[in-house]
Amino acid sequence: MAGATFRAPDGHPTDIERSAIANRSVRRGSILAGIALLAMTPLAAYANFVILGGLITPGDATATATAILNAEGAFRLGIASLLTVAVLDLIVAWALYAVFRPVNRGVALLTAWFRMVFAGIFMVAIAQLTGVLSILNAGDVGAVFTTEQQYAQALLGVNAFYEIWDAALILVGLHLVLLGYLMYQSSAVPSYKSGYIPKVLGVLLVIAGAGYVIDSFGRVLLANYSFEVAAFTFVGEVLLILWLLIYGRRINLDEEPATIAT
């Protein structure tokens, strides 16, 4: 009977009940991860390309400071959006761990830790932008620094944000590489025996992760590195969102473990 609960005589869960609990955890984790990833995409794009991209003039401290002061409300909204993205990253880390724990618990845990540590470092980077506002709004700074020096300090804070973020993206890359490995291996696990995860998606995630790693090392090793490999390898990340949402909606908890309802 669908929805029935079975207990062994000693009160411990039976194999059927354990399978139902595991399936429920995977289903909820998949839906939660998909929604969180879907939500963070427009937030990150808005903050990075619309707000920061529209207000910051690379190498021009005066233009950057003036633009931020003239649109301080929008700048604060951009910071709030980035903080929301960092929180969503933590949710994604936990949810994906729940999804792929049956494949390999150790690798799934390491995958989650990479993303959680990234989220922590990302918050440190965002704090640099908050510091920019403090510098520009400091009322007594004129007694120590000239206006030009004040603006230069603010631009240094903006640059620090990007530098910390860029360096931390290597952790996102490693996270995606391990996630791709888990997806590729999942069809060999009994609870994933239906093979509902396409191996090609695992390969695409490894490629996406490698793009981040290459870009991070490129910025460190090459002074004028400007080529963005990740701009061409992100396809796996987009497909991951679609797969998580479709998978989470279609999994059948009343049948065999990890079977897709048709």
Per-residue pLDDT tens over the stretch 218-240? 888 888 888 889 889 999 999 99
The pLDDT of residue 6 is 41
Q: Where are the alpha helices (DSSP H) in the chain?
A: 15-45, 53-55, 61-70, 72-100, 105-136, 147-185, 199-221, 235-250
**Which residues of the chain register pLDDT less than 70?**
1-23, 139-144, 187-197, 248-262
State the sign of the Cα–Cα–Cα–Cα dihedral 21, 39, 123, 183: positive
> Distance between CA atoms of 182 and 21, rounded to whole angstroms?
21
In a domain, 78, yes or no: yes
> Do the beta carbons of residue 238 and residue 199 sit within 8 Å?
no
> Distance between CA atoms of 231 and 237, rounded to whole angstroms?
11
The pLDDT of residue 183 is 87
In DSSP terms, 259 is beta-bridged to: 252
Amino acid occupying residue 40 = M
> Distance between CA atoms of 176 and 178, rounded to whole angstroms?
5
Check residue 262 and report its DSSP letter: -
The pLDDT of residue 200 is 87
What's the predicted TM-score (pTM) here? 0.84
In a domain, 31, yes or no: yes
In a domain, 1, yes or no: no
In a domain, 59, yes or no: yes
Distances (CA, A) of 224 to 60, 218, 227: 18, 9, 9
In a domain, 104, yes or no: yes
Name, in order, each residue with C-beta under 8 angstroms of 62's C-beta and a sequence gap of 6 or more: 148, 151
Q: How far is residue 174 CA from its own chain's centroid?
A: 12
In a domain, 76, yes or no: yes
Count of structural domains, the chain: 1
In a domain, 106, yes or no: yes
In a domain, 4, yes or no: no
Tokens of 186: 């999942």
* Residues of the domain holding 172: 15-260
Check residue 259 and report its DSSP letter: E
